[in-house]
Chains A and B, each alone.
Chain A
C-alpha cells in the first residue's frame, strides 16, 4: 500500500514535469490568440521549424541545399562551421522574428477585420506551407540536438528520496530544466504584458482591435511582435522536446498535446496554459497508472481530451479564460 502511494507520488511528479512541457507548447497558442483572437493552427509547425533552424544553423547546414544543388549542379551541403549553442539560439530567434514579419506582410495584413474563422483557415494554410518549406530548407532527416542540456535521472532526487522513503524517485533532469525555462518564460511574459508599453498595447489590441487602432496603436506592428514572441516560445519548446527525440518532423505532433491544455486552461490566459498543462500532465499519468492494470495502457492520448471535455462542459471558457457575454 505504501509502495503504491510512493509510486503514485512519483507518477504525479513526473506528470507535473511533463505538464509543464505541454504548457511550453500551449503558451505559443495562447499568446497569439490573446493578442489577435487567432487560433494559430501553425504553432506546432513553428515549434518544429524553430528547432530545425536551430540545429541547421548550429551544424552549418546550407539552407535549401538540395534545391540549390539540383538547380545549379553543385554539391554544397555545409558551410563547414559549428556554431556555439548561444549563437545558434540567438540566430534562430532572429529567424523566427523574420518569419513573424513575413507572416504579417504576406498573410495577416490582407486579413484585417476578417472573421476569426478566416484567420484560422489562413493559419492552416500557413502550417502546410511551413511544413513543406521547412523540409525544403533543412531536409527531412532526423537531427540530433547538440546543446549542453542535462538529461537522465536526477541522482540527487533519487538518493534523497531513497534515504527518506526507501524508494528512489525518478525525475528527469531535462524535465527540471524545462520547468525552469517555462518559469522564466512565464514570468517574463507576465511582466512584459503588465508593465511594458508594448505589453499594454498588446492588451489593448486583444481587448478591441478597432479601439486600439483609433488611439494610434499599429495593429500590424503588434502582430509582428506577438508572432515573434510566439516563435521564440516555440523555439524554447522545440529545444526541450527535440532533446528527447532528436529534431524530426514528428515534433509538430506535440501540438496535439497542447490542444487539451488550451481547452482546459483557456485560450487567453498564460497562467491558465501552465495550470492546464499541469492538470493534463498529472491527470493523464495518474489515470494511466491506476487504469493500466485494468484496461491495458495507451490511455494518455484520449484521456487528455476527455478531461478537457469534462472541464468544457462545466466551464466552457476554460479555467482562466475570459467569459464571453454577448447581450442582445
Chain B
C-alpha cells in the first residue's frame, strides 16, 4: 500500500505542471524553408526583447526568461513535434506563428493545460473564451481585419460602397479562407459585391491567370490574405496590370517589407493593416541597442530591427511579458505554471501607460482581455508603403472593427465548434 502511494505520488509529480526555475517560453520558429524570410525577423524580434529583459531587468519579477527555439520550417507536422518535445520542459505557453500549427495545437493545449497565444492569426473563433479557455488571439483577429479593411474602404467612399466590387485574393488554405464568411456577411450589410480568388501555395510563384481574371473584372478594391512568396508575387502582378496600389489592401500578414521590396518603385502606395507601428521610432530600440545589439546578444544581426515582422515579434514578446507579470501579480509568485500563465493572459489589460513604460509608446492598441473575450479590442491601423523612402507609414488612426457583427459571427462559429467537439461553455 505504502509503495502504491509512493508510486502514485511520483506519477502525479511527473504529470502535473510544475513551476521551473526559469520562465520557459518556446518559440516555434522558422528560420529555414520557404517562409524563412518572414520567420527570421519575427524570431529575432521575439528573442531580442526577452534578451533585453534578461540583461536589463534580470528577467521578469526576478526570474530569468528561457526562450526555447524549435525549428518548424512552417511545417505543421514539425510544429506538433516541437510542441511534444518541449512541453515537458516547463513551457508556459506556445506561439506557433502559423495558423496550421495553431489549429493542431488548440486541442492539445486545451487538454494538457498549456495556453496557445496566436497573436492576430490562428482560429478566429478562439476569441470566444467561453469555449476556448486556453487559446488567445488578441489584440485583433482575422475577422476584425476583414471588417477594418472594409471600414477603411467605407471611409474612402463617404460611407457608401453599395455596388462596389471587392475581390479577396487569398492563400488557398485555412488561413486564407478565414475572412470569407466575414466578407460575405459584410457584403450583405453594405451592399458590395465580393468574389474570391484562391491561390494554391504551390502556385504562389505563378499567379498569371488569377491576375488576368482580376484585370478583366476590374474590382474597385482588392484585399489580400497571403503569406510568404504569394504576397510579393501578387503585388508584382498587380503592378503589372497597372492596378492602383492604393486600392490594394493586405491583412497584417501581407504587409511587411519582404512583400513590397521585390516590386521596387511599382509597389508604391500599397496598403496593409497594421497591428502595431512599423519603424524604429520607439524608445525600446535604444534599449535594444544598448543591452542587446552592442553586447553581441542579438538573435540575428540586428539589421531587421524596425521592420514590420521584427516589430511583430518584439510586440508579441512584450505582450507575453506583460501577461507573465499579470500572472505573477495575481498569484503572488514569481515562478509561474502554465495555468497561472493562462490567468495572466486572461486578465491582461494593456494600457497606453504600460506600453510607454515598456518603451512602446503608442505602439499598439490599448485593450483588455477577459474570460469571454480572448480576442482583444479588434483595432488596427492602415499603413501605406512609401517606395521612395522605402518605409511603411501609418495613414489612419486606429480603426475599430464592426464589433457587433464580428462578435456575433465569432459566437456562432465558436458554438458550432463546441457542438462538433462536445465542448460545454464555461461561465464567464
Contact = CB atoms under 8 A, between A and B. Distances in A.
Interface of A: 7, 10-11, 14-15, 18, 21, 66, 69, 73, 77, 131-132, 135, 140-142, 144-145, 151-153, 170, 172, 241, 244-246, 248-254, 256-257, 284-285, 288-289, 292, 296-298, 300-301
Interface residues of B, number: 44
Given A141-B37, A142-B37, A152-B266, A250 B215 contact: no
Interface stretch (B206-214, B313-321, B356-364, B376-384): B206-214
Nearest to A141: B37
A151 B296 contact: no
Contact of B34 (A21, A144, A153, A250): A250
Contacts of A135: 32, 36
A3 to B, nearest CB: 9
Given A14-B209, A152-B240, A152-B266, A250 B216 contact: no
B232 A288 contact: no
B236 interface: yes
A140 B200 CA distance: 23
Interface stretch (B257-265, B401-409, B418-426): B257-265
A300 B213 CA distance: 14
| Secondary structure type dominating chain B contacts | helix
Contact of A301 (B31, B35, B39, B200): B200
B334 interface: no
A141 B233 CA distance: 16
A15 B232 CA distance: 20
A241 B232 CA distance: 12
Interface stretch (B48-56, B191-199, B268-276, B279-287): B191-199
A296 B196 contact: yes
Contact of B236 (A132, A142, A244, A253): A244
Interface in B34-86: 34-37, 39-40
B205 A250 contact: yes
B344 interface: no
Contacts of B212: 7, 10-11, 14, 170, 285, 289
A301 B37 contact: no
B89 interface: no
A278 B203 CA distance: 17
B333 interface: no
Given A142-B37, A142-B232, A245-B229, A292 B213 contact: yes
A254 B208 contact: no
A246 B199 contact: no
A155 B296 CA distance: 51
A77 B130 CA distance: 50
A77 B304 CA distance: 14
22 contacts: A77-B301, A135-B32, A140-B31, A144-B261, A144-B262, A144-B264, A151-B266, A244-B233, A245-B205, A246-B258, A246-B261, A248-B37, A249-B34, A250-B34, A250-B205, A250-B228, A253-B205, A292-B213, A296-B196, A296-B198, A297-B210, A300-B203
A18 B213 CA distance: 16
